Amino acid sequence: MNEEFEIFTARSPNGIKVPIMLEELGVDYSLRQLALDPAVLHTPAFLSLNPNGKIPALRHRRTSGEEIRVFESGAILL
């Protein structure tokens, strides 16, 4: 399976929850560290991942080509 998980996060308590979970599950993922700065989090590119402009956000690219975006640590952890 060649699916890709990409995490967009920053150094914060909520931001670290998702990478910890993926490490514990043994899932491969890419980590994108972002600054906790509105100039970064409110760009059109990031708002397309999370319309709330907050971290963390997860992008899952499936082998079928489908792209799934999930945001908010609680939702991602489910």
Going along the chain from its start, the domains and CATH numbers come out as 4-77 (3.40.30.10)
Q: Is the pTM of this model over 0.85?
A: yes
Predicted pLDDT at 2: 54
**pLDDT tens digits along 15-40:** 999 999 999 999 999 999 999 999 99
DSSP state of 66: -
- Determine the Cα–Cα distance for residues 11 and 57; give it in Å rounded to an integer: 13
- Determine the Cα–Cα distance for residues 30 and 57; give it in Å rounded to an integer: 12
Which are the contacts of 42, defined by CB distance < 8 A and separation ≥ 6? 53
Predicted pLDDT at 15: 92
